[in-house]
Amino acid sequence: MFAPNSSRLLSLSMITGLIGLGLVEAQASSVPVFNFYAPGNWSVGSSGSTYQEWTADPSDSISGVPNVGYNDAGAGLTQPTLAASGAFVAGSGGYYSFSGNYTAYTTVQNHDTISPTGVGTHVIVQGFSTLNGSPSLFPITVTDSAGNVIPGATQLRFDTYGYNPSFPSSFGPVSVEAVIAEFWLPSFTDDFKVTVAAKVHSSLQGLRIDSKIGSVGSGGSSPFAITVVPEPGCFAALAGLTGLGLLRRRF
């Protein structure tokens, strides 16, 4: 099971103002609309693990190195950089595109000094986005650092763990979605690339990546399977919270 991390104030802007050619992007109004969860089967900072997290904020762009947290278990690895193709950073601080679908991507340095014999890498990715329409389960993929398929790589799960089809904004209701994906990369401890595919008129507002090198026996089977349990009413109650201003968001 995932467990929430420590608290951090989150202020998302629902209105980004005019963008480019007079276009306006609707975003969440000073209300956190998602939670990210820490792995339930290892601790952040444990041997062979990595953790990196980005969150959009009007004063802090999602682009670049992790702006929420980073931990490489003392290995001195370079922090990953989040970038996008076909999108720009909107006034909310999140990636956005009004002209077509786009991708956001980052390459995570792994503890590749560890021999891959008998071990592999478990990767957990969580993302949050406003959407253009109904739930999309916006695709998340993990490849090697060059973008190639990793032999034997398995996607253990891919689920929406939070969704609100009518989150209020000054430009009308918008839908928001939080997803989680788990991957097992057998006999692989090299650097890996995470790619998130997003829809036109959607905005990627948050991304968290956790990884852990482990044995083949435990890494690709049920001990790593997780169940995310959002706080009661996490999404359903949000429509009634818009007047509260800043709320605490857990990391």
pLDDT digits (tens, 9 = 90+) for 18-37: 222 222 233 333 344 568 88
Percentage of the chain surpassing pLDDT 70? 68
Tell me which of 16 and 160 has the higher pLDDT. 160
Mean per-residue pLDDT, 168-175: 66
Identify any residues that bridge with 171 across adjacent strands, giving them in sequence order: none
pLDDT (0 to 100) of residue 91? 85
- Residue 128, C-beta contacts closer than 8 angstroms, at least 6 positions apart: 33, 34, 36, 162, 176, 177, 178, 179, 204, 205, 206, 207
Query: Does residue 185 contact residue 120 with C-beta atoms inside 8 Å?
Result: yes
Query: Does residue 104 contact residue 204 with C-beta atoms inside 8 Å?
Result: yes
DSSP class per residue in 193-219: EEEEEE-TT-EEEEEEEEEEEEEHHHH
Q: Give the model confidence (pLDDT) of 94-103 as tens digits.
A: 999 999 999 9
User: CA dist 134 to 83, 101, 137, 199, 243, Å?
Assistant: 25, 15, 9, 11, 26
- CA–centroid distance for 134 within its chain: 19
Tell me which of 109 and 250 has the higher pLDDT. 109
Q: How confident is the model at residue 3 (pLDDT cuts 50, 70, 90)?
A: very low
Mean per-residue pLDDT, 72-93: 95
Residue 137 φ/ψ region, left for φ over 0, alpha for ψ in the -120 to 50 degree band, beta for the rest = left
pLDDT (0 to 100) of residue 230? 52
Which one-letter DSSP state was computed for residue 45? T
Q: Give the model confidence (pLDDT) of 173-195 as tens digits.
A: 778 889 999 998 988 999 999 99
pLDDT (0 to 100) of residue 54? 96
Token code pair at residue 201: 């008129």
Give the residue extent of every domain in the chain: 3-250
Q: Give the model confidence (pLDDT) of 197-207 as tens digits.
A: 998 888 899 99
Q: How confident is the model at residue 245 (pLDDT cuts 50, 70, 90)?
A: very low
- Residue 237, C-beta contacts closer than 8 angstroms, at least 6 positions apart: none
Amino acid at 197: A
Mean per-residue pLDDT, 237-247: 32
pLDDT (0 to 100) of residue 4? 46
Q: What is the pTM of this model?
A: 0.79
pLDDT (0 to 100) of residue 193? 98
User: CA dist 79 to 64, 190, 249, Å?
Assistant: 9, 15, 23
Q: Give the model confidence (pLDDT) of 35-63 as tens digits.
A: 888 888 888 999 999 999 999 988 899 99
Mean per-residue pLDDT, 212-240: 52
pLDDT (0 to 100) of residue 130? 86
Identify any residues that bridge with 128 across adjacent strands, giving them in sequence order: 178, 206
